[in-house]
Chains A and B, each alone.
Chain A
Amino acid sequence: MVELARTPSVLEVPATVQALGDIAAFVLRLAGRAGLGKRAAYRLRLAVDELATNVVMHGYRGGDGRITVRGRSGPGGVQITIEDSAPAFDPVAGRLPPCPGVPPQDRRIGGLGIHLALTSVDEFAYAHRDGRNISTLTVKAEGTDPCPPRP
């Protein structure tokens, strides 16, 4: 169990590619506040970036929308919640693992982002409530998780 601050920091941005940089900066600030090492901070940023990119590119399908990111940090790690009101999408159900055996010319381009996100975090949960997708992910400080994710 990661010890976290009671009050989350909140960032709300338009669902655009340009806003992904603001989300990354927000996440890295929380990682710094939690004292995460470089590897854990990288994993956290990658997971949030991939999930948020998916909301921008596929969730709202290029239309208007907003993404709310809430983050709580503590000495053991960071927990981030990503909320959007795009059509319901469960990342776990929509995960597309890579197919290393497929020749390059036959590979699909894309579909790996969710897989990368889910393999980068220590805990992940999805809920659909009041018309909103709510993804909650946790990255623990290195050395605190007895079963860290494997690439």
Chain B
Amino acid sequence: MPLSVSLSIEGDTTVIELSGELDAKTAPDFHRTIEKAAGHGTTIVEIRMAGVGYMASAGLRSLVFAQQKIADHVTIKVVGAIEPVSRTIRTAGLDRSIVLSDE
């Protein structure tokens, strides 16, 4: 299943909305969007993942990349991830530096 990625700015938040499946084949699209988001200069980057039905470690690599690419003072939020996806994020320990939120 393909991945759909959109990027927008809402006030001081850069919003990345993902829908579909995030795996080795589709993660490069997410990666490119993170690079664009890093240049926006907002204080929050919110990654909306409610529409992501599957995420492999390639998605985790993208989230680590986001942490490295986006400035330290910018908060990265992952919003609405389904339980298996948020479990994968926690398994990697990324919930210590990324804000995981249900809504």
B87 within 8 A of A: yes
Stretch at the interface among B8-16, B41-49, B55-63: B55-63
> Quick one: which of B23, B65, B97 contacts A109, CB cutoff 8 A?
B65
Tally of B interface residues using CB under 8 Å: 22
> Does B93 count as interface, using CB distance less than 8 angstroms?
yes
| Chain A residues with CB below 8 A from B97, complex form | 103-104
A109 adjacent to B91 (CB under 8 Å): no
Which of these, B25, B64, B65, B88, contacts A116 with CB under 8 Å? B88
Instruction: Report B-chain residues with C-beta under 8 Å of the C-beta of A113.
Output: 56-58
The dominant DSSP class at the B interface is: helix
Within 8 A of A (CB), among B53-103: 54, 56-58, 60-61, 64-65, 67-68, 84, 87-88, 90-93, 96-97
B24: Cβ under 8 A from any A Cβ? yes
Question: Looking at the complex, which one of B56, B67, B84, B90 makes contact with A105 (CB distance below 8 Å)?
Answer: B67
Binding site for B on A (CB under 8 A): 17-18, 20-21, 39, 42-43, 45-46, 49-50, 53, 56-57, 98-101, 103-105, 107, 109-110, 112-113, 115-116, 119, 151
Extra inter-chain contacts (19) besides given A109-B61, A110-B61, CB under 8 Å: A17-B24, A20-B25, A39-B84, A42-B54, A46-B56, A46-B84, A46-B88, A49-B56, A50-B56, A53-B23, A53-B57, A53-B58, A98-B91, A99-B93, A101-B93, A103-B97, A104-B67, A104-B68, A112-B91
Chain B: residues with CB nearer than 8 A to chain A? 23-25, 54, 56-58, 60-61, 64-65, 67-68, 84, 87-88, 90-93, 96-97
